[in-house]
């Protein structure tokens, strides 16, 4: 079973609620040292507006479940080597499988998923 097939199996078991993944960039000439997938939710704020929130844990996911306006989405980020810059959004996906596939095609490496 490949890592991508494993990821799809895990996504099916966990309904894709929370997915955080990380891939080191092996290209030393690149401005980026790594790439990651993070789970995002649009939630209502107390002023009647909305905000996009990075969800880091199952507890946080369930905490925001009732005030979320939509299903989670998955953001693929590039992390800069330079300390003065933090990260850049590369793409956003509604399906975790598409985010994992994008990251693996981009880097040529399997995405290490550290939370579901």
Question: Could you tell me which residues come within 8 angstroms of residue 76 by beta carbon, excluding any fewer than 6 positions away?
Answer: 35, 36, 37, 89, 90, 91, 92, 93, 99, 102, 103, 106
Write out the H or E segment, with its range, that includes residue 50.
Answer: strand 50-55
Cα separation, 92 vs 73, in Å, equals 7
Dump pLDDT digits (tens) for 73-88.
999 999 999 877 889 9
Q: What is the structure's pLDDT at 59? A: 86
Q: What is the structure's pLDDT at 5? A: 52
Task: Note the pTM of the prediction, 2 decimals.
Answer: 0.78
Dump pLDDT digits (tens) for 35-68.
999 999 988 888 888 899 998 888 888 888 877 8
- With a cut of 80, say whether residue 10 has pLDDT above it: no
When mean pLDDT is compared across 7-11, 59-63, 96-100, 103-107, the lowest value belongs to 7-11
Residue 39 three-state SS: strand
């Amino acid at each position: 079973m490949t890592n991508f097939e494993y990821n799809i199996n895990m996504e099916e078991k966990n309904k894709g609620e929370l997915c955080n993944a990380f891939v080191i960039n092996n290209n030393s000439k690149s401005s980026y040292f790594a790439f990651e997938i993070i789970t995002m939710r649009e939630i209502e704020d107390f002023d009647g507006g909305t905000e996009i929130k990075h969800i880091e844990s199952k507890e946080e996911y369930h905490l925001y479940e009732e005030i979320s306006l939509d299903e989670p989405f998955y953001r693929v980020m590039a992390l800069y080597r330079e300390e003065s810059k933090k990260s850049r959004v590369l793409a956003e996906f509604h399906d975790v499988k598409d985010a994992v596939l994008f990251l693996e095609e981009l880097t040529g490496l399997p995405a290490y998923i550290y939370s579901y």
